[in-house]
């Protein structure tokens, strides 16, 4: 273990081990007899103590002693002195067990339970902890117990903070002490304790403190984790903010009935085709929030009542907390021109996962123009083939370019309060950037490069959109490229981070975005809405990001990348045409975010790896298996239970059953045989074209 070679046991060691096992089995046999018969005599209780001294991990023995204690405390002749005697005996048993194994979960839990009875002196506990922490200063069990003791003693966070400082100076590599320091400072910040009211006074001192550890031993990870926590405290705002929305403030939305709009009077960012006569309002917050409803978000317009709107969170785990919330506004065909005003957070109720209120009310205003058109049956009787291939696109003309550029600013949320980072945050980050550039000039340190990349990325995020560009994006991309070469063990992590930075760069300015915007050759197709196709193909992307800047996208080409997950794509509620051709999607469950895209009509997932792997090892990368939603909404009474083919393809049924696709391409995946295609046709009766072939 931990790189130590195994040694063959000596004969005398084997004999001693055998004797110990035999003694343990005899004790266990006698103990279980007492336990099952509920015998709590002095002899029986002492026997359990002997068992725990040999094996402190015997949870059954600890639970037996709890029952024995309750038995004695409920005796008629029980008095305060006898209660104290019983509990003191328990503390001695725990201490003896901890001497055998001071990382025993059961022993530490039992000690907490004894002290919670309130009849024992807790002052001795710190002295006991000092002994154990001298033996192993990084024992997280002891630190966890210390927090319990400090709270029970009403010991101040400031005193405990001084203790962590002493322990860190004794050993810079004490990760548990660094962690406890972050816990204590978080509590002091939350309580706004004296001396800790302003982070700008505390955090710079903490940066200086951590520099001593990092520069002393750059290869030790303990200090780096604490530095990452400090960075999060520096850049994260307590109160949630509205990062972006669709429709954008000041925009004109053209809603077309059965045919797409093909004029230049309206921005291509906001022309939308809708069969249902409604369109989504999307709110994208900078952190997950709950409480978005008709009380906290009011929508005023001539054709809909605010209380009729149902706000839904777009969360992969189906929780009621999410960054992205959506409601569908129903439009009256008789009201062709209306102004819609959306008021966010003017009444309390929107709360972040950290418990902070949304305290920056926002107002969005946009105009809706309805253009009803009669259906031409000759045009819709045959399914149209939409192919996001190179030959089907053309570069925008000068007039269209100007239309896109003029519309770009509407994609960024503009609140009445311009949220800027305070000067101390910029100064702190700038100082850290200078510090770590100096460190990297002295030593070649992988975690130093990673930290510098994070600092530069955080500085750019705070500067944008006021600087209107990401100053350090090229340097950050280069750092992640270096890390991908230097540290192959964590290659995928660096590649994912690099992909996000690349997308942020692409979407950071009008010029860079325009380089990826193309016009589909058939702009009057009734299968798609709006002429813009955002082409992010051949960028070697392994992870998606920057969704707050992509809410307007209706046609998206992500082909020829390395995506294994498309988590977050559910935020792009306007998507009607999507190409994921030639990626690394490994399962049908990877498509789950697409279930929330109600306007999606054309999907290309050809030439992925779906079906190659019997077990989807990436399925739980970002969430717990216990919270995964695949299959959780299935109704047992659905007719699927009578169809064997669908039962055997329940994941396909779950993923595709709510889709309203006209066109699907799945060729090139192992799973895509004729039998599976027949299942897809059953699941999606409205499907008109599969793998380029018209369906009957």
Asked whether residue 529 falls in the same domain as residue 646, the answer is yes
CA distances from 292 to 238, 322, 357, 566 (A): 18, 10, 12, 25
For residue 39, count CB atoms less than 10 angstroms from its CB and return exposed for 0-12, middle for 13-18, buried for 19 or more: middle
Domain membership of residue 432 as a residue range: 423-507
The dihedral of CA 386, 387, 392, 396: what is its sign?
Answer: positive
- The answer to whether residues 600 and 659 touch, using CB atoms and an 8 Å cutoff, is yes
- The answer to whether residues 257 and 212 touch, using CB atoms and an 8 Å cutoff, is no
Query: What pLDDT sits at residue 258?
Result: 45
Query: What pLDDT sits at residue 397?
Result: 57
Residue 528 has pLDDT above 80, yes or no: no
Asked whether residue 490 falls in the same domain as residue 520, the answer is no
Query: What pLDDT sits at residue 403?
Result: 58
Over residues 446-478, the pLDDT tens digits come to 999 999 999 999 999 888 766 567 889 999 999
Query: What pLDDT sits at residue 637?
Result: 46
Asked whether residue 82 falls in the same domain as residue 137, the answer is yes
Asked whether residue 492 falls in the same domain as residue 523, the answer is no
Question: Which of 507, 536, 568 is the last residue in one of the domains?
Answer: 507
* pLDDT-derived band at 628, boundaries 50, 70, 90: very low
Asked whether residue 523 falls in the same domain as residue 558, the answer is yes
Which CATH number do you get for residue 76? 1.25.40.120
Asked whether residue 689 falls in the same domain as residue 540, the answer is yes
Distance CA 642, CA 648 (A): 11
Arithmetic mean of pLDDT over the chain: 83
Mean pLDDT throughout 261-284?
A: 64
Over residues 246-256, the pLDDT tens digits come to 998 888 888 77
Domain membership of residue 389 (yes or no) is no
Distance CA 123, CA 110 (A): 18
Domain membership of residue 157 (yes or no) is yes
191: its two tokens? 């309580």
* pLDDT-derived band at 266, boundaries 50, 70, 90: very low
Residue 620 has pLDDT above 60, yes or no: no
Helix (H) or strand (E) holding 491: helix 491-506
Query: What pLDDT sits at residue 383?
Result: 41
Asked whether residue 447 falls in the same domain as residue 530, the answer is no
Domain membership of residue 5 (yes or no) is no
Mean pLDDT throughout 231-259?
A: 83
Domain membership of residue 307 (yes or no) is yes
Total domains present in the chain: 4
For residue 12, count CB atoms less than 10 angstroms from its CB and return exposed for 0-12, middle for 13-18, buried for 19 or more: exposed
- The answer to whether residues 365 and 249 touch, using CB atoms and an 8 Å cutoff, is yes
Asked whether residue 502 falls in the same domain as residue 551, the answer is no
Bridge partners of residue 246, in order along the sequence: 282
Asked whether residue 521 falls in the same domain as residue 669, the answer is yes
Question: Which of 460, 489, 507 is the last residue in one of the domains?
Answer: 507
SS3 assignment, position 326: strand
Which has the closest alpha carbon to 142: 157, 119, 126?
126
Residue 423 has pLDDT above 90, yes or no: no
Which CATH number do you get for residue 264? 2.60.40.3710
Asked whether residue 503 falls in the same domain as residue 524, the answer is no
- The answer to whether residues 599 and 573 touch, using CB atoms and an 8 Å cutoff, is yes
Asked whether residue 687 falls in the same domain as residue 538, the answer is yes
Question: Which of 454, 478, 507 is the last residue in one of the domains?
Answer: 507
Over residues 10-65, the pLDDT tens digits come to 776 677 777 778 888 888 899 899 999 999 999 999 999 999 988 899 999 999 99
Distance CA 535, CA 514 (A): 10
Which CATH number do you get for residue 599? 3.80.10.10
- The answer to whether residues 288 and 322 touch, using CB atoms and an 8 Å cutoff, is yes
Residue 168 has pLDDT above 80, yes or no: yes
pLDDT greater at residue 423 or residue 275: 423
Residue 270 has pLDDT above 70, yes or no: no
Dmax of the chain from CA atoms?
96
Our measurement of the distance from residue 39's CA atom to the centroid of its chain's CA atoms, rounded to an integer in Å, reads 51
Domain membership of residue 472 (yes or no) is yes
Helices 59-73 & 80-100, crossing angle to 10 degrees?
170
Residues contacting residue 514 through CB under 8 Å, at least 6 positions apart: 396, 401, 404, 405
Over residues 487-522, the pLDDT tens digits come to 999 999 999 999 999 999 999 888 888 889 888 775
CA distances from 653 to 151, 581, 605, 648 (A): 52, 21, 16, 9
Query: What pLDDT sits at residue 444?
Result: 87
Query: What pLDDT sits at residue 467?
Result: 58
345: left (phi over 0), alpha (psi -120 to 50) or beta: left
Distance CA 691, CA 672 (A): 10
Q: In what order do the strands lie in the sheet with 337-344?
A: 271-273, 252-256, 362-371, 337-344, 297-300
Domain membership of residue 249 (yes or no) is yes
Over residues 350-407, the pLDDT tens digits come to 999 888 899 888 898 988 888 765 544 333 333 457 777 777 777 765 555 655 655 5
Domain membership of residue 392 (yes or no) is no
Over residues 67-109, the pLDDT tens digits come to 999 998 888 888 888 888 888 899 999 999 988 888 899 999 9
Query: What pLDDT sits at residue 597?
Result: 93
Query: What pLDDT sits at residue 478?
Result: 96
Mean pLDDT throughout 539-559?
A: 93
Asked whether residue 94 falls in the same domain as residue 185, the answer is yes
Query: What pLDDT sits at residue 560?
Result: 96
Domain membership of residue 400 (yes or no) is no
Mean pLDDT throughout 628-647?
A: 53
* pLDDT-derived band at 211, boundaries 50, 70, 90: very high
């Amino acid at each position: 273990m931990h790189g130590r070679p195994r040694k063959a046991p000596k004969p005398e060691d084997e004999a001693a081990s055998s004797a110990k096992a035999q003694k343990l089995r005899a004790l266990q046999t006698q103990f279980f007899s007492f336990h099952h018969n509920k015998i709590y005599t002095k002899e029986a209780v002492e026997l359990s103590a002997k068992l725990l001294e040999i094996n402190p991990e015997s949870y059954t023995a600890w639970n037996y002693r709890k029952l024995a204690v309750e038995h004695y405390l409920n005796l008629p002749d029980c008095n305060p002195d006898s209660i104290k005697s019983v509990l003191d005996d328990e503390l001695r048993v725990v201490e003896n067990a901890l001497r055998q194994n001071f990382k025993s979960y059961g022993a530490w839990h039992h000690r907490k339970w004894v002290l919670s009875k309130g009849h024992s002196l807790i002052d001795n506990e710190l002295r006991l902890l000092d002994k154990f922490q001298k033996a192993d200063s990084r024992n997280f069990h002891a630190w966890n117990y210390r927090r319990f003791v400090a709270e029970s003693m009403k010991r101040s966070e400031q005193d405990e903070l001084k203790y962590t400082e002493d322990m860190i100076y004794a050993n810079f590599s004490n990760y548990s002490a660094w962690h406890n320091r972050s816990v204590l400072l978080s509590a002091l910040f939350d309580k706004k304790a004296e001396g800790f009211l302003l982070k700008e006074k505390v955090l710079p001192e903490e940066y200086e403190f951590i520099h001593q550890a990092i520069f002393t031993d750059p290869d030790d990870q303990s200090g780096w984790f604490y530095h990452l926590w400090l960075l999060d405290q520096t850049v994260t705002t307590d109160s949630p903010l509205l990062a972006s929305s669709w429709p954008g403030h000041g925009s004109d939305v053209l809603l077309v009935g059965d045919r797409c709009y093909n004029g230049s009077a309206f921005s291509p960012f906001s022309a939308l085709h809708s069969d249902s006569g409604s369109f989504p309002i999307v709110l994208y917050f900078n952190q997950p929030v709950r409480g978005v409803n008709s009380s906290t978000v009011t929508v005023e317009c001539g054709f809909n009542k605010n209380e009729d709107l149902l706000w839904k969170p777009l969360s992969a785990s189906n929780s009621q907390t999410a960054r992205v919330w959506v409601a569908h506004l129903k439009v009256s065909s008789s009201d062709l021109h209306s102004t819609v005003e959306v008021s966010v957070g003017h009444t309390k109720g929107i709360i972040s996962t950290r418990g902070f209120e949304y305290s920056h009310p926002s107002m969005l205003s946009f105009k809706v123009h309805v253009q009803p058109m009669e259906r031409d049956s000759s045009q819709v009787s045959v399914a149209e083939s939409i192919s996001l291939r190179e030959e089907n696109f053309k570069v925008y003309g000068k007039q269209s370019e100007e239309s896109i550029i003029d519309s770009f600013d509407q994609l960024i949320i503009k609140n009445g309060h311009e949220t800027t980072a305070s000067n101390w945050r910029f100064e702190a980050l700038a100082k850290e950037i200078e510090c770590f550039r100096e460190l990297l000039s002295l030593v070649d340190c992988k975690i130093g490069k990673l930290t510098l990349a994070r600092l530069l990325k955080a500085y750019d995020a705070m500067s944008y959109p006021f600087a209107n560009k990401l100053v350090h994006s090229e340097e950050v991309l280069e750092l992640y490229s270096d890390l991908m070469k230097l540290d192959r063990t964590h290659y995928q992590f660096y590649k994912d981070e690099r992909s996000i930075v690349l997308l942020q760069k692409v979407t950071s300015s009008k010029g860079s975005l325009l380089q990826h915007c193309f016009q589909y050759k058939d702009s009057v197709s009734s299968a798609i809405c709006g002429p813009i196709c955002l082409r992010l193909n051949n960028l070697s992307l392994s992870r998606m990001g920057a969704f707050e800047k992509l809410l307007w996208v209706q046609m998206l080409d992500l082909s020829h990348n390395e995506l294994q997950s498309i988590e977050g794509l559910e935020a792009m509620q306007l998507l009607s045409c999507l190409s994921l051709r030639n990626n690394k999607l490994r399962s049908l469950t990877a498509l789950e975010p697409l279930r929330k895209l109600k306007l999606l009509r054309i999907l290309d997932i050809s030439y992925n790896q779906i079906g190659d792997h019997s077990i989807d090892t990436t399925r739980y990368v970002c969430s717990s298996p216990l919270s995964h939603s695949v299959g959780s909404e299935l109704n047992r009474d659905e007719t699927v239970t009578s169809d064997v083919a669908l039962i055997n393809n329940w994941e396909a049924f779950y993923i595709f059953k709510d889709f309203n696709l006209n066109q699907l391409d799945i060729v090139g995946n192992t799973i895509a045989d004729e039998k599976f295609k027949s299942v897809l046709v059953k699941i999606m009766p409205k499907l008109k074209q599969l793998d380029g072939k018209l369906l009957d």
